[in-house]
Structure 1
Amino acid sequence: MLGMFVPGAMIIVLGLAVLFNQLGWNAATHVLWWAGPILVYILIPLIDIFLGPDGENPPEEWMERLENDKYYSYILYAYIPLQYITFFMAMYLISADSISWIGYENGLSLVDKIGLAVSISFVGGIGINTAHELGHKKENLERWLSKITLAQSFYGHFYVEHNRGHHVRVATPEDPASSRLGETFWAFWPRTVWGSLTSAWHIEKTRFQRMNKSHWTIKNDVLNAWLMSVALFGVTIAIFGWQVLPYIILQAILGFSLLEVVNYLEHYGLKRQKTASGRYERCAPSHSWNSDHICTNVFLYHLQRHSDHHAYPTRRYQILRSWDGAPSLPSGYASMIVLAYFPPIWRRVMDKRVVAHYEGDLTRANVHPKKVDKYYAKYGVTANS
C-alpha cells in the first residue's frame, strides 16, 4: 500500500498547506510544494540507510498463491487515479490567480509553481514504474492502463521499447538503455532518450511491414500512446489555459528523466558475452545491479530485484526474488540516483564494483568506446587480453 504514498503525499501536502497558513506558518508552506524531491532525494535514502537491506524471498509454497492474489494488482490500478488527481490538482493550483482558501490571495509564486511542477514530475516518473509493471503483463486491460499511466510524461513509446527492445538487448552495447562503464549520466541521457524513441518507432514500423501494412495507423502502439499524451495535454490546456504549458513540459521532462537515471544505474558496465554462434548469451542475474534495501523496494514494487525481473519478465512484482549471485548496489535506488548526478562520486563508488565483478577483466565489461584505452590502461588490461 505504501507504493501509493508518493501520489497520495501531494494530496496530503495540500491539506498541510491549508493548516500551516491557518497557523501562520507561511514560510514553511513554501517548502511543501517541493515535497517530491525532498521525499525522493532525502527522506527515502535516509530510511533506506536506517532499515537496511532485506534479502528474504517468499517461500516456494506461497508463490502460486501470491502470483494469483488480485490484491497486488489492485494496488497498481489504484496508483493511476491518484496520479491524475494529483496532476489536475497541481495544474489548478498553478493556473489559479487566487487561492484564498489555502491562504494565497494572489496565487502561487513562480518558485512555488516550479516546486509543484517538480513534485508532480516525481509522481509521473514513479508512475512510469507502475506502467512498467503493468506493461509486462498479458492482459489487454493492464497493457492499456500502462499506456494511460505513461501519458503524463509523454513517454508512451517506453511501452514498446522496454518490452520488445530493452529486454532483448539488455546489457549489450546495442541497448540504448544500458549504460556503459565510464559513461556519465549526462552523456547517457541524450543517448538513451533518443535511442529509445527511435528504437520503439523502428520496432513498430518493422511489425507492420511484416504484415504488409502501413505503420501510420492508430493500431501503432507508439502512435496511440503518444495520442493519449496529446489528448491529456490538450484537455489540460483547454481547462486551465496556456499558462500551464511550461509546467506541463517541465514535469514531463523531469518525469521521464527519473526513469532514465534508474535505467542508468540498473546495468552500468555489465555486459552479456557472445557465444560461439555469435549471439549474446541469455540474460542472467549477473547482468543487472540489484538492491534489496527495503524502503525503495516498497515504493518501487520490487523493481530493485532486477535480475529476477529480467530472467522472468512476466513475473509479478510480489514474487520477485533476491539472487545471491547478482551484483549488488551499495544502497537503494533513491540513494544511487543522487550519486549518478555527480559523475566523480559515481565513478568512485561504482567503477571498482564493475572491476571486481569481472575480476579485473574489463574486456568482458560494457566499456564506453571513448574510454576503453583509459580504463584498460588504468586496470592493466590490453585489447588482446
Structure 2
Amino acid sequence: MPQETAASGGFGPHNADVSRLIEPSIRTALPHYLPLGVFPLILAAAAYGGWWLLPPFLFFAAATPLDRALGLDGRNMDPAKAPGRRLIWHNLPVWCWAFLWPVTLVFGLWQILVANPFAIWENVILAIILTMEAQAVFIVGHELVHRRTPWERRWGEFLLASASYPQYATEHVYIHHAQVGTPHDMGSAPKGESFWSYFPKEIVSNLTNSWKMASQLLARRRLPVWHYSNPFWRYGIYVAFWYGLVFWMGGIWAVLVFLFLGFCCVFSMKISNYLQHYGLRRVLLPNGRWEKVAPRHSWSADWKFSNWMFFNMQRH
C-alpha cells in the first residue's frame, strides 16, 4: 500500500508501495511550479498594500480544501530511472523559489522599513505575509543542502540564514540523518515528550551539536577548528549580511523585529520536526548498531496538493 490510505487520513509511518512509481517528466514536474505563484501576489501586496494584502492569505489558505478535493498520491519516483539530466524540470521550480525569495524578502523589507508608503496595520500584515512565506525557507533550504553541487548547498545555507538558522545545514545532514529515530537525535521526540519540553532542547542541541560536528570533521582532516573551511565562517557571513541589511534599512528596532520573525519561522519548523518523528524509534540490533532508516521511521503525508506546494516535503 502507499504510505497512506484515505482511511488513515493521509498521514502515517507506513512503507510506500514500490509498485506505483512515477518517472521524471515535464508533466509530473508541472504541479511543483505552483509554489512560485505566491511571489507575484506578495510583490503586489508589498507594492500596493490595501486589498492587495488579501490574495497571499487566500493562496496560503487554499491547501486544506484543495487537499480534500484532490485527495492522496502515495507514488514515489524510482531513483534508478531518475538520472540528474531527467530531473531538470523538477529542479527548476526549487531553483526559481530559491532565487525569487531573497529578492521578494528584500523588496518587502524595503517597503516596510525604508519607503514606508503604508499605514502601520498594512506594514504589520505585510510582515506577517513575509513571515508565513519565509517558513518555506526550511523546505527549499533543506532540499538544497542535500544536493551534491557546492553552489546549491551554499545557497541553501544562505536561505537558512535569512531565518537566522544556517547551522541547520550541518546538524540536519550529518547528525539528524545518521541518528534519526534514536535517543541520540534531539530532533526525534520520544513518545510522551511534550513539544514544550522538546523545543528548547532541540534549539540548543542544534547549535551545539552542529558546532561539535563541524569541529570533528575538521579534526579528521587534521585541521584546526578555526580553519577557513569551517562552515560556521560562512554561516556567520550569511547571518551578518541579513542583519546588516536590516539594520541599514531600519536600525536596531528593525533588527529585533527581524530576529523575532526568524524565531517564528524556526518555531513553525520545529513543530513540523516534532510531528514528523514523534514516538518512532529504530531497533537496536544485536551487533550494537541501529537498524537502517526506513519510511516507517517518519510520519509522512500523501496529500497531493500540499506535496505539490511543499516540494514533497510532507512525504518526509
Partner of 1:176: 186
**Mapped partners of 1:242, 1:79: distance in 2:** 29
Gaps of 5+ in 2: 1-32
Equivalent AA in structure 2 for residue 11 of structure 1 = L
* Aligned mate of 1:32, from 25, 41, 54: 54
235-244 or 136-145: bigger deviation? 235-244
168-177 or 237-246: bigger deviation? 237-246
Gaps of 5+ in 1: 21-28, 307-385
Partner of 2:275: 265
Partner of 2:87: 69
**Mapped partners of 2:271, 2:284: distance in 1:** 27
**Mapped partners of 1:97, 1:210: distance in 2:** 50
- 1:273/1:97 Cα in 2 relative to 1: closer, same or farther (>3 Å)? same
Contact 2:113 2:249 in 1 (8 A): no
Contact 1:272 1:280 in 2 (8 A): yes
Partner of 1:162: 172
Partner of 2:199: 189
The higher radius of gyration belongs to: 1
**Mapped partners of 2:243, 2:315: distance in 1:** 34
Instruction: Confirm whether residue 89 of structure 1 aligns to residue 113 of structure 2.
Output: no
**Mapped partners of 1:215, 1:51: distance in 2:** 51
Partner of 1:142: 152
Counting only pairs closer than 5 Å after superposition, residues 305-316 of structure 1 correspond to structure 2 as 305-306=315-316
Query: What displacement does 1:218 show?
Result: 3.4
**Mapped partners of 2:94, 2:115: distance in 1:** 35
**Mapped partners of 1:2, 1:8: distance in 2:** 12
Equivalent AA in structure 2 for residue 93 of structure 1 = Q
- 1:86/1:61 Cα in 2 relative to 1: closer, same or farther (>3 Å)? closer
Partner of 2:248: 238
- 1:61/1:217 Cα in 2 relative to 1: closer, same or farther (>3 Å)? closer
Contact 2:138 2:269 in 1 (8 A): yes
Partner of 1:55: 74
Instruction: Confirm whether residue 44 of structure 1 aligns to residue 63 of structure 2.
Output: yes
Contact 1:117 1:247 in 2 (8 A): no
* Aligned mate of 1:200, from 190, 210, 231: 210
Query: What displacement does 1:211 show?
Result: 2.5
C-alpha deviations, 1:44-73, integer Å up to 9, x for none? 223222322112345x59933676332222
Counting only pairs closer than 5 Å after superposition, residues 1-385 of structure 1 correspond to structure 2 as 1-14=33-46, 17=49, 20=51, 32=54, 35=56, 39-40=59-60, 42-58=61-77, 63-64=81-82, 68-96=86-114, 98-99=116-117, 104=118, 108-109=119-120, 111-306=121-316
Contact 1:91 1:244 in 2 (8 A): no
- 1:295/1:233 Cα in 2 relative to 1: closer, same or farther (>3 Å)? same
**Mapped partners of 1:285, 1:201: distance in 2:** 29
- 1:7/1:115 Cα in 2 relative to 1: closer, same or farther (>3 Å)? same
Partner of 1:350: none
Count of aligned pairs = 284
**Mapped partners of 1:93, 1:11: distance in 2:** 10
Equivalent AA in structure 1 for residue 181 of structure 2 = A
Query: What displacement does 1:115 show?
Result: 3.1
- 1:5/1:280 Cα in 2 relative to 1: closer, same or farther (>3 Å)? same
- 1:57/1:227 Cα in 2 relative to 1: closer, same or farther (>3 Å)? same
Query: What displacement does 1:91 show?
Result: 1.4
Partner of 1:356: none
- 1:8/1:163 Cα in 2 relative to 1: closer, same or farther (>3 Å)? farther
- 1:290/1:144 Cα in 2 relative to 1: closer, same or farther (>3 Å)? same
68-77 or 202-211: bigger deviation? 68-77
Query: What displacement does 1:161 show?
Result: 0.5
Partner of 1:339: none
Superposition RMSD in Å: 2.5
